Amino acid sequence: MGLRERIEEEELRHAFDQNEKLVNALYDAREQISSLKEEVDKLTAPPSTYGVYRPTWTAPSTSSPRAAR
C-alpha cells in the first residue's frame, strides 16, 4: 500500500468518524426539539374552562331588623 492510499484511507476514516458524530448530534437535537415542542404546546393551550361556582354565603346578622322582632 502506497503513501497516497494510506493518506486517503486515513482521511476517509476521519470523515466517517465526523459523520457519526454529526448523526448523533442530529438525533440528540431532534429529541430536544420534540420535547420543547411538547412543552410549548402545553403552555400555549387554551385554559381549561371547567370550574365550580360557589356563591358567597353571608350569615344572618343579629343586628338586622328581622332579628330584633
Q: Please identify which residue in the block is written with the cell numbers 358567597.
A: 56
pLDDT of residue 48: 74
pTM as predicted:
0.54
pLDDT of residue 19: 98
Q: What is the 8-class DSSP label of residue 58?
A: -
Q: What is the pLDDT of residues 5-59, one digit of tens each?
A: 999 999 999 999 999 999 999 999 999 999 999 999 999 988 777 767 777 777 7
pLDDT of residue 54: 76
**Alpha carbon distance 44, 47 (integer Å):** 9
pLDDT of residue 61: 65
Q: Is the pLDDT of residue 68 over 60?
A: no
